[in-house]
A and B are shown apart, each in its own frame.
Chain A
Amino acid sequence: MMAFYWISLMLVSCAFAGLLFRLVKGPTVADRVVALDAIGISLVSIIALLSLIMGTAFFLEIILLLSILSFIGTAAFAKFIERGEIFDRDHNR
C-alpha cells in the first residue's frame, strides 16, 4: 500500500509542476486564477498523502485551513475579474 501512496504523490507533484507552469505562463488572468485554485487543491492532496505516509493525524487541521483560504481567495479573484472591485459599499444601490 505504501508504494501506491508514493506513486500517487509523484503524480500529484507532476500535476503541481504543470500548474506552476500555467501560473507563470498563463495568457489571461482567468488562466492564472484557475491554476492558483488547482494549486491549492493539489497542495491539500499532497499534505493528505504525506500524512498517510507518515501515519499521523496532525496535518488534518492544516488541510481544512488551506482549503478555507483557497476557497476565499478564489471567490475574491472571481469577484474581482467579474466586477473590478472586491468589496461593495452598498449592495442595493
Chain B
Amino acid sequence: MRTNDVMLQTATKVVTFIILMFAVHIFFAGHYTPGGGFVGGLLTTSAIVLLMLAFDVKTVKKILPINYVIMTAVGLLIAIATAAASIIFDVPFFTHAYDYFDLPLFGKTSLHSAMLFDAGVYLVVVGVTMTIIQTIGEDE
C-alpha cells in the first residue's frame, strides 16, 4: 500500500540539517560543557535514521555512499594513534596536550589534542550504530 507522506518528507529536508548542525555544536562543546564525541555521533545517526524513515534505504545509500564498517575501523585507528602519539614525546600513555591560539575568526581559542580522540570516538559511534541499524533494517 502506497501512502502519501509529503509532510514528513518536507519536514525532514529541514530538520535533518538542524540536527546535523546541533550534532556539530555538541561535538565541539564537549570539553567544558555537556557533550562530546559520543553524543555527537548518536545525534548524527539519528539524523540519518530520520532520512531513512522519510525516504528509503536505497536513497540514503545513494546520497551517503559510505561503508560504515571501514568508517568504524578508521575511527578506532585515529583514537589509537592519538593515544599512542604520547609515547613519542616520552610521557605516559593517553597524555594529552593543549595550548591557546589566536584564530582569525574565533579569537583566543584553546585547542586540545583530546579533540582528535573525540573525533575517533565520533566515527566509531556513527559507524557501529549505522551498521547495526542497516543490518536490522534489511529484511531480505
Chain A residues at the B interface, C-beta cutoff of 8 Å: 58, 61-62, 64-65, 68-69, 71-72, 75-76, 79, 82-83, 85-91
Contact = CB atoms under 8 A, between A and B. Distances in A.
A91 B34 contact: no
A61 B26 contact: yes
From DSSP, what is the main secondary structure of chain A's interface residues? helix
Interface of B: 1, 3, 8, 15, 19, 22, 26, 29, 33-35, 39, 43, 46, 49-50, 52-59, 137-140
A79 B3 CA distance: 10
- Of all A-B residue pairs in the complex, the 5 with the closest CB atoms, nearest first, are A88-B56, A87-B137, A91-B56, A90-B58, A87-B52
Main secondary structure of the interface of B (DSSP, over half): helix
B22 A64 contact: yes
B57 A89 contact: yes
